[in-house]
Amino acid sequence: MSTAARRGADRRRGGVPGVLLDGGARSAGPVTRQPGLDDVLDALDEVLPLSSALATTLLLVGLGRRRQHPAPVLARATAVVLDSFRHDDWLGRPSAEQVVAVLNGTADDAQSVAARVLDRVDAAGCGLRVVVGVVELRADLTAQEALDHAADAVTVARVLRTRRVVHHRLPRGAPAEPPAGRRTAGAPRPAGLDVLLPPAAVPAPRRPARSAPARVTPAPG
């Protein structure tokens, strides 16, 4: 990833303006000044072609809805989330309720990081049910597809309420969808991904009710 993409300072066209990382040293700027949506997509555009040679994972933290929580609560939770990552992780904020991280490592590594993030948010007593979506990047994905897949995983985690980290995985060998540009709000989500659900989320098949054995009444005589 280029220095410009890592800093986010020179790529502030939309979303929340950025100041973040530079050679492993994190700036002390306010949490509201992080690379925004366009910056996140640009960074993914640079990383995705390299993901075939170097395992790279996208981690999206969902902080809840802005309408449901006061701004100071979201700001506190965001600060805790940002402080939970390593200094060499690329971070951004595609929206006020989301933090995205691009991590070197597999989805298993990212899930360990996600567990640490959730533990720290819980310990801080922020009062939010934070959830995380994990997507292992592939060179045949577009930046928007990767972000959409992570957002889908976050949505699943919110709906399930039995798991706070969901890995959204594209089956090996399955072709990615052709690039369709950056998706606008309300557009249909891409299909074809296998969301790994926890065992508790999959209802056990119902056994058919066993009927009582029929009584045979002997014929008279």
Residue 47 has pLDDT above 90, yes or no: yes
Q: Looking at residues 108-124, what average pLDDT do you find?
A: 91
CA distance 89 to 126: 23
Residue 169 has pLDDT above 60, yes or no: yes
List of E strands, the chain: 21-22, 25-26, 56-62, 90-95, 98-104, 131-136, 165-169, 194-196
Residue recorded with tokens 């939010």: 128
Residue 118 has pLDDT above 80, yes or no: yes
Contact (Cβ atoms closer than 8 angstroms) between residue 133 and residue 152: yes
Q: For residue 217, what pLDDT is reported? A: 54
What is this structure's pTM?
A: 0.66
Q: For residue 218, what pLDDT is reported? A: 55
Q: Which residues contact 206 (CB under 8 A, 6 or more apart)?
A: none
Contact (Cβ atoms closer than 8 angstroms) between residue 138 and residue 176: yes
Contact (Cβ atoms closer than 8 angstroms) between residue 17 and residue 102: no
Q: Looking at residues 90-113, what average pLDDT do you find?
A: 90
Q: What percent of the chain has pLDDT over 90?
A: 39
pLDDT band at 92 (very low <50, low <70, confident <90, very high): very high
Helix, strand, or coil here: 21? strand
Domains of the chain: 3-180+191-201 (3.30.70.270)
Residue 14 has pLDDT above 90, yes or no: no
pLDDT digits (tens, 9 = 90+) for 188-219: 343 334 444 443 343 333 444 444 554 545 55
Q: For residue 70, what pLDDT is reported? A: 79
